[in-house]
């Protein structure tokens, strides 16, 4: 559909970055968040700051959500449902529960609307640059309709088939990232206790079979001491709980998933629910009275690449 108007709901740390990239290319973008203080992040004249969800549903044919939990998603969709019509397409970019995604999609479709799930992956710094990766699932026609907007927010975009697939795959990737983060903490602990320079340790891991996305990114802000990764422990705990739920549904015993979930609950108890997820390694630092520090590492992650063209892979 030509000249569609887009509404974006949920402009927190990640959502605001996605919306900002969308606003650079769109003639008009409606936004809404319960926390109106987040509106100060937007200076573009293309941005229309809404007072309520009705303004989004009345004015926008494409409605994007990027919210912190399945509960928040459910509350928003419940509010939107009365106003959903045949021209509406809901694009869900949160990390959410697969079963809830399917249930809410049925409610939207009963009103004549369409649905596409499109969770993002790749770190807040890539959401900022517009080079985030996007996993999309649903009907192909909806993916095709959404692609021009997804490509403004992301770089590598993967169509994952039926609705629910993208939510499952996103939780799998978040589980693996959490697993790698715990592993990095233990690895750095062993290196430190054996008096190996942690800059050297990072380089060795980076060129080895033990490397990972986490080491390439999050290890850097651990070594700088900022831990600033833009993602918090409560969100990790939520994602791990959803991953373990997926496993339980199919009677798969994910021992590591349970252990990591337990470790992050311990981390929340020690450092607070809203502490950076990378601070989980401080459990090791505190227990063994060591610090994971090295010179010349950034306080914040930044994608040095300019916006790359959005492509389907």
Digit-coded pLDDT (tens) for 131-165? 999 999 999 999 999 999 999 999 999 999 999 99
At 3 the pLDDT is 67
Q: For the chain, which residues score pLDDT lower than 70?
A: 1-3
Q: How far apart are CA 131 and CA 298, in angstroms?
A: 19
CA dihedral sign of residues 20, 21, 25, 26: negative
At 97 the pLDDT is 95
Cα 203 to chain centroid, rounded? 27
At 2 the pLDDT is 52
For the chain, domains (ranges, CATH) are: 6-163 (3.40.50.720), 168-288 (1.10.1040.10)
At 41 the pLDDT is 86
Percent of the chain with pLDDT over 90: 96
Contact (CB, 8 A) for 155 and 237: no
At 25 the pLDDT is 77
At 235 the pLDDT is 96
Q: Which value, to the nearest 10 degrees, does the dihedral of the CA atoms of residues 31, 276, 69, 303 take?
A: 50
At 93 the pLDDT is 98
């Amino acid at each position: 559909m030509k000249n569609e108007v887009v509404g974006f709901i949920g402009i927190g740390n990640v959502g605001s970055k996605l919306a900002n990239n969308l606003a650079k290319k769109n003639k008009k973008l409606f936004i809404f968040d319960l926390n109106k203080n987040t509106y100060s992040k937007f200076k573009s004249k293309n941005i229309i700051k809404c007072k309520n969800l009705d303004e989004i549903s009345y004015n926008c044919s494409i409605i994007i959500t990027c919210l912190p939990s399945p509960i928040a998603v459910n509350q928003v969709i419940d509010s939107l449902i009365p106003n959903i019509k045949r021209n509406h397409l809901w694009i869900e970019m949160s990390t959410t529960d697969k079963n809830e995604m399917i249930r809410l999609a049925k409610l939207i479709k009963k009103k004549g609307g369409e649905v596409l799930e499109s969770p993002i992956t790749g770190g807040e710094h890539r959401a900022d640059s517009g080079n985030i990766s996007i996993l999309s699932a649903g009907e192909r026609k909806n993916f095709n309709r959404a692609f021009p907007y997804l490509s403004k927010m992301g770089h590598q975009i993967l169509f994952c088939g039926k609705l629910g697939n993208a939510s499952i795959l996103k939780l799998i990737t978040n589980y693996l990232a959490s697993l790698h983060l715990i592993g990095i903490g233990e690895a750095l602990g062993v290196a430190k206790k054996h008096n190996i320079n942690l800059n050297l340790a990072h380089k060795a891991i980076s060129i080895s079979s033990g490397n990972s996305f986490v080491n390439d990114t999050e290890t850097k802000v651990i070594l700088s001491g900022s831990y600033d990764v833009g993602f918090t422990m409560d969100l990790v705990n939520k994602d791990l709980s959803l991953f373990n739920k997926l496993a339980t549904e199919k009677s798969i015993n994910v021992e590591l998933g349970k252990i990591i979930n337990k470790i992050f609950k311990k981390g929340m108890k020690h450092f607070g629910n809203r502490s950076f997820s990378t601070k989980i390694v401080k459990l090791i630092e505190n227990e063994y009275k060591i610090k994971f520090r090295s010179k010349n590492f950034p306080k914040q992650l930044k994608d040095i690449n300019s916006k790359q063209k959005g492509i389907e892979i």
